[in-house]
Structure 1
Amino acid sequence: MNIQTERLENHNARFTVTLEPSQLEKAKQQSARKLSQKYNIPGFRKGKAPYGVVQRFFGEPAILEDAIEILGNDVYKQALEESGIEPYAPGQLENFEADPEPKFTFMVPMQPTIDLGGYRSIRQPYSEPTVEDDQVDKAMRQLQEDQALYEESTKPVEMGNRVTMELYAKIVGEEGAEDATAEAEHTHEEGEEHDHEHDHEHAEGEEHDHEHTHAEGEAHDHEHGHDHDHGLGGNEFIHEHSAVMVLRDENEEPAPGFRQAILGAAVDEERTFELTYPEDEKEYEEYAGKKAEFKAKITKIENVTLPSMNDDLAARITEKEEKPLTLLELRMRTRENLQESTKQQAKSNFAGEALDAMVDGATIAFPEEMVEDQTENYLERLDQDFKRQGLTLEDYMRITGKQRDELKKDYREVAIKNLKRALVLREIRQVETIDVPESAIDAEIDKMLLQFGDQAASLRGMLDTPQMRENIKNDLMEQGTLDRVVAIAKGEAPALNAPA
């Protein structure tokens, strides 16, 4: 047996394996015996028909096909062991030649390789964020709105109302690839910043968007038979069946001018209009300077009666706590929570920028199969997101007129970007020997159980399972690696192999 290994530019390996003719003949004899044992051949008991009879009965191609399979598995394993190559996925038989000598050609996608280069020399400027009084004011107003009295109104929309609507928006003149990129970049993958807090309860000082808060008692439309052609024909970056907004100048809106565009609308009235985002990339990111088409159908209008901002309100908000807070104490805690969440967001953004710089300085190679797997994962998650809105990926493809391959093409660029980030992050974790002790997993489980109060003890068994512990460990290891990325970029990382 002669094995030749060729490493290709696309991070695949090609094995060319040449055998002695006698090895193929032996495999053909085995193939013929298998066929005679499996099938009835007239005049012979199963497994007793001679080779020539089997050949005439089934034909040489059938015997050869099975012989190639018999030989191929063993040949591939030997080639893999001899080459020392670690495959990312099973190899494929690319070609077989029987003459003049049996020759197998296999194509094997290889595991990715990452050279981090001088990643430890990366430095990024960092400034500690501050919380301004207007941010605290806004958070306090949100808490006030949470305690408001809402009464349905029959009058047209006016400022101060809470409005529930079907809301759709898309960028004018774009075909959707950018939307796919934006959606994928918000899908959690290893190497992307995400919030590792498992407690998603709204707390004082945490940002939350009233535009996408569903009113109490309202149901989402999750019927898959619902006609979703009421949107804007696909490519929407907003597709909400029950978007909710409280119309106040200090509250956020989907785009500048949106509130004014729906003023005066009645229940069941539908309005379509265009708004242009200001040229402010820091504020509006990928939408800066672009024109968007909006469609809003009003489904409910409510008058809002806000409670007075006083100690009674603070006591009502914190009534389940051991000691209810005064308004001043609530404001102080709100500022502290905002400071912490702002700090965490700034740290997350800083980690992302530092990681991207490390990716730019690294040498990374991976096979196309990894990109294919990444894009398939995105489409699966996109399908799950659509199902939560009462749609399916098939519905989206029908609305947009796109085939699956076209969607995968839309996601390709961001799949490659996030794949590189994930691979670099994984390599940093290995080089920096980031690990998570069992005590840290226990502490995280305790933290998760805090939100359940008196029921925590009874729920521990649901969270303290091998699978859940493994998931928590992976999350903590990723966060630990991102913390190390931050430390490196600040110039504060410990020396390699030094105690963390």
Structure 2
Amino acid sequence: MKLETKPRDDHQVNVIAEFEPSDLEAYMHRAARQISERAKIPGFRPGKAPYPVVLRMYGDEAVREQAIEILVDDKYPAILDEAKIEASGAGKLEDILSTNPPKFSFLIPLAPVVTVGDLASIKKNYEEPVITDDQVEKAVKNVLSSYATPTDVDRAAKEGDLVKMELSAEYVKAPEGEEKEFIAKTPHQAIIGENDMRKETWPFEDFSKNVIGMKTGETKTFTHAYPKDDPVEKLQGQKLEFTVELKSVQELTLPELNDEFVMKIGQFNSVDDFKAYLRRRMEADAKAEYDNTYFDDLLDQMVALCSFKYAPHMLDEEIHSVQHSLQDTLAQQQMDVDTYLKVRKLTMDELVEKELKPVAVRRLERSLLVTEISKQQKLELSDEELESSFNQTVNEISMSYDMKRMRRTISNEKLSQAVAFEAANRAMNRKVLEYLRDMASGKSAEAKPEKKAAKAKMKPETESAEGEAKPKKAARAKKAGAEETKPAD
């Protein structure tokens, strides 16, 4: 086998492989045997038709095409080994340059290369949030309010009341191409001054506080200026005039907080038990929110110090993943992609280039950095870490999906393997982030008892969610123009 390699600028390499004529001849016989096993050839049992008979019936070209497919599948791993190529995905058979001698041109995507900068130069304190007694008491009151008894009152509305109203809104100055009316008359209800666990966000934060002092039957008009970074594009930097007619005011009578009450609403033995549960949940939520913000910023800073080279297919796959996530989000809002594009006044190509691609680049480069750190630091997972992550992943999947439906479509063995991979990747991701956090915060490495390392080291390749990685897949060659099968997100 003779090989000629030609590197390309897009982190792929062209490889021209030339074989001996006898190689193709041998594979012609194998191809003919395979054809005879599948086809019904009069006078012969499956797989027993002589080579000349198969050639006469199916033609030299058809047999040669099948032979080339078998040859490429067999020889492709040897091509990678001899050319010392580490591929990041399936290569493509771009062209058959000659059949005598057999000479083929392949396009092979190279494994990503990450040049890590001076990550130790980044300093960022890590201060785990603390939940105060006052916050717990507010949370208790929030729970009580959800079991409150509403009573109509003939007085002005005040904070804590349940109010029902009819509202409408229009632009003070409508943007070009938009109608002046933004919200047609619509019913709305809220508890004035919603609590921290249920913040009022529509039509804007603390909207209901504008009806404080109003009585049933009264109407009020007021304006609100939206910030330029408002998540609703049509509202960014706009001022709206709202008109509200108050329909009713109800005072909420909270139930008495005692052991009997908490036993009714959950598996709690006492008020103290209930408050301890709330504190644990609040601490977990606060830590998760803090960690998301902390690691988002830390990874962005670290990625900026590094350089990345990766083949186009890796970014394409990440864009596909981001697009799939968008479709899921839209489906939850009862909207499809076509409707979303019409509302946004974008084509799919514009959406991909302006919005999905930047997100995909960010996710991919973060994932590549996490992978590289795990390799450089030779991080391993203990059996205890894997078991803990596996149990947590199973619990989350059980709560998020219909397990019975999943078991009908996926075998128990494949489901277990998928959960195991996901759990291992999550655990490795956490381990890398903890390492980076300790480095950035200046936390000295504390002596820890050695844990038995798990037999399998995870080497994540691409990200499935921000910072989370998928296991690397074995590469093989495919024909140019053939569509690569991608796993469902």
Normalised to the residue count of structure 2, the TM-score between the two structures is 0.62
- Whichever residue aligns with residue 436 of structure 2, its letter is V
Question: What's the counterpart of residue 253 of structure 1?
Answer: 201
* Paired AA for residue 5 in structure 1: T
Please show how residues 271-420 of structure 1 align to structure 2 within 5 Å.
276-278=225-227, 290-291=236-237, 304-307=250-253, 312-313=256-257, 318-319=262-263, 320-325=267-272, 341-342=285-286, 345-393=289-337, 396=340, 407-409=351-353, 410-420=355-365
Q: Structure 1 residues 389 and 342 mapped into 2: Cα distance closer, same or farther (>3 Å)?
A: closer
Post-superposition offset of 1:435: 4.0
Q: State the alpha-carbon separation in 2 of the partners of residues 244 and 484 from structure 1.
A: 47
**Unaligned segments of structure 1, at least 5 residues:** 175-231, 233-240, 267-272, 452-461
- TM-aligned CA deviation for residue 36 of structure 1: 6.8
Does 1:86 find its partner at 2:31?
Answer: no
> Using a 3 Å threshold, how does the CA distance of structure 1 residues 147 and 76 change in structure 2: closer, same or farther?
same
Change (3 A) 1:400 1:333: closer
**Structure 1 stretch 9-18 or stretch 431-440: which is displaced more?**
431-440
Any residues of structure 2 matched to 1:429-440 within 5 Å, and which? 429-440=374-385
1:388–1:340: structure 2 CA closer, same or farther, 3 Å change rule?
A: closer
Q: 1:498 to 1:141 in 2, by over 3 A?
A: closer
2:372 to 419, 427, 435: 427
The one-letter amino acid paired with 2:191 is: V
Looking at structure 2, the residues matched to 438 and 88 of structure 1 have their Cα atoms a distance apart, in angstroms, of 29
1:373-425 Cα offsets, whole Å, 9 max, x none, are 22222233333333434444566467667665555443111011011112212
Cα separation, partners in 2 of 1:333 and 1:78, compared to 1, 3 Å: closer
Aligned residue for 2:11? 11
The verdict on how the C-alpha distance between 1:246 and 1:295 changes in structure 2, with shifts beyond 3 A counting, is farther
Matched letter for residue 81 of structure 1: D
SS at match of 2:17: strand
**Partner deviation per Cα, 1:98-121 (whole Å, 9 max, x = no partner):** 277432011122332323333234
Q: What does residue 440 of structure 2 align with?
A: 489
Distance 1:70 1:278 in 2: 61
1:65 aligns with 2:65: yes
Residue 291 of structure 1 aligns to a residue in which SS?
coil
Question: What is the CA-CA distance between 1:80 and the residue it aligns to?
Answer: 1.5
Structure of greater relative contact order (alpha carbons < 8 Å, 6+ residues apart)? 1
Aligned length: 408
Residues 1:91 and 1:294: Cα distance change in structure 2 (over 3 Å): farther
RMSD of aligned residue pairs (Cα, Å): 5.7
Q: Structure 1 residues 75 and 485, CA, compared in 2 at 3 Å: closer, same or farther? A: same
- The code of the aligned residue for 1:290 comes to Q
CA distance in 1 between partners of 2:145 and 2:88 (Å): 53
Equivalences for 1:462-473 in 2 at 5 Å?
A: 471-473=422-424
Gaps of 5+ in 2: 177-181, 217-221, 397-411, 452-489
With over 3 angstroms needed to count, the CA separation of the structure-2 counterparts of 1:117 and 1:167, relative to structure 1, is farther
- Match of 1:98, SS state, is strand
Give, in whole Å, the separation in 2 of the partners of 1:324 and 1:12: 64
1:93 deviation in Å?
A: 0.5
Instruction: State the Cα deviation string for residues 325-379 of structure 1 (Å, max 9, x = none).
Output: 49xx95x997887567545533442233222222122232222212222222223
- Which residue identity does 2:375 align to in structure 1? Q
Aligned position for 1:479: 430
The 5 Å alignment of 1:447-462 reads none
Q: 1:161-240 counterparts in 2 under 5 A?
A: 161=162
Contact between 1:149 and 1:304, CA under 8 Å: does it hold in 2? Answer: no
Farther-moved stretch of structure 1 (136-145 vs 90-99): 136-145
Secondary structure of 1:322's match? coil
Which residue identity does 1:494 align to in structure 2? A
Aligned residue type for 1:360: A
CA distance change for structure 1 residues 38 and 349 in 2, over 3 Å: closer, same or farther? closer
Q: Distance in 1 between matches of 2:447 and 2:88?
A: 29
Aligned to 1:145: 145
The change in CA–CA distance for 1:39 and 1:318 in structure 2 (over 3 A counts) is closer
Please give the secondary structure, in 1, of the residue aligned with 2:370: helix
